[in-house]
Amino acid sequence: MIRRTRDKRSTDVRLTFAIPLDAHDGPVSVVGDFNGWTPGAHALVKRSNGTRSAVVSLPAGTEARFRYLGDGGRWFDDPDADWLDDEGGLVRV
């Protein structure tokens, strides 16, 4: 799931990337061009609602490429991305 919310203190948009707790065993992070594709920079954190999530703020009107990276080097995509191809997902802010 990808949720967009306006940041009240700026013109940025907060993207919440969330997956079910059981989507992957072990740690998962969202990586993309917004963090230099750096594993662990935006680790998904366990939430009380049965998901794990991370928040990334981006300027309104931009696009970002991303994928999830799980323990053991397993890459996977979010079906809620605005666009999916062989290189992962694209989200428009």
When divided into structural domains, the chain yields a total of: 1
pTM > 0.75: yes or no: yes
pLDDT at 64 over 90: yes
Q: What is the pLDDT of residue 61?
A: 92
Q: Answer for the pair 87, 77: CB distance below 8 angstroms, yes or no.
A: no
Q: Tell me: the pLDDT tens digits for 3-32?
A: 999 988 888 999 999 999 988 889 999 999
Q: What CATH number has the domain bearing residue 68?
A: 2.60.40.10
Q: Based on the number of CB atoms within 10 Å of its own CB, is 42 exposed (0-12), middle (13-18) or buried (19 or more)?
A: buried
Range of the domain at 70: 2-92
